[in-house]
């Protein structure tokens, strides 16, 4: 399944032609499509149904888009038709996420999750960005989460990498050394 998702994402990615603005336009078009299509459970059921013909699905989508006065991005619409044709509509959200990951990698951007014990200020966020930029020679997008059990400091995670600079971890390591 993951391989299939990557295949669809790669197909879309080739339409970006190494143009960051086009990548972003396609991504926004895909996100709009997901938002519209997944806002109605009955619509999702029909689009997922192998019993409903491709023509009926396309006709339904045309009516929905017309009613909403929505014109999907051409590449996003082509992906949707391809997924519907292959009875793989359920993969749409995963394909959008995989496509976004391809863009981030192409632009040498790390998308990291940073967990703080309390809400960080701009200064703390800049320090984490600087640390990642210096260590990995890239730009970064930070998704901030809060976990009061960290007591202080932060934890950075991305692509299997983990940097735990939390007070909770420092105390835990100290305990282990003291016992040993």
Q: What are the structure tokens assigned to 51, written together?
A: 């019993």
Q: CATH number for the domain including 82?
A: 1.10.520
Q: Look at residues 69, 104, 139 and tell me which one is the last residue of a structural domain.
A: 104
Q: What whole-number distance in Å separates Cα of residue 104 and Cα of residue 71?
A: 26
Task: Report residues of the chain scoring pLDDT below 50.
Answer: none
Q: Which of 123, 130, 18, 16 is nearest to 75 (CA)?
A: 16
Tokens of 149: 């059990």
Domain residues for 142?
109-179
How far is Cα 128 from Cα 125, in angstroms, rounded to an integer? 5
What pLDDT, in 10s, does the model give residues 159-174? 888 999 999 999 999 8
Do 118 and 160 belong to one domain? yes
- The 3-state DSSP composition of the chain as helix, strand, coil percent (nearest 5) reads 65, 15, 20
Q: Assess contact for 45 and 39: CB atoms under 8 A.
A: no
Is the pTM higher than 0.85? no
Task: Output the pLDDT for position 5.
Answer: 94
Q: How confident is the model at residue 70, as a pLDDT?
A: 93
Domain C-terminal end among 57, 84, 104 = 104
Whether 24 and 73 map to the same domain: the answer is: yes
The per-residue pLDDT for 108 is: 83
Pairing label, strands 161-166, 139-146: unpaired
Same domain flag for 118 and 100: no
Question: Which tokens in the block code for residue 28?
Answer: 């926004």
Q: The domain that contains 128 carries what CATH number?
A: 3.40.30
Give SS3 for 82: helix
What is the pLDDT at residue 180? 67
Do 16 and 94 fall into the same domain? yes
HSE-up (13 A, CA, CB side) for residue 57: 24
Statement to judge: residues 116 and 91 lie in one domain? no
């Amino acid at each position: 399944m993951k391989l299939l998702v990557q295949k669809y994402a790669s197909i879309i990615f080739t339409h970006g032609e190494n143009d960051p603005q086009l990548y972003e336009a396609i991504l926004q078009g895909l996100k709009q499509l997901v938002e519209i299509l997944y806002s109605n459970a009955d619509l999702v059921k029909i689009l997922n149904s192998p019993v409903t013909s491709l023509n009926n699905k396309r006709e339904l989508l045309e009516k929905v888009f017309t009613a909403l006065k929505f014109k999907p991005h051409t590449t996003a619409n082509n992906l949707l038709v391809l997924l519907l044709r292959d009875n793989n509509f359920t993969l749409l959200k995963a394909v959008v996420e995989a496509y976004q990951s391809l863009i981030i990698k192409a632009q040498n951007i790390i998308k990291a999750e940073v967990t703080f014990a309390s809400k960080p200020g701009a200064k703390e966020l800049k320090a984490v960005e600087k640390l990642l930029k210096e260590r990995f020679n890239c730009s970064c997008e930070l998704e901030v989460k809060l976990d009061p059990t960290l007591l202080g400091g932060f934890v950075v995670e991305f692509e299997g990498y983990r940097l735990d600079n939390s007070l909770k971890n420092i105390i835990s390591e100290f305990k282990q050394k003291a016992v040993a």
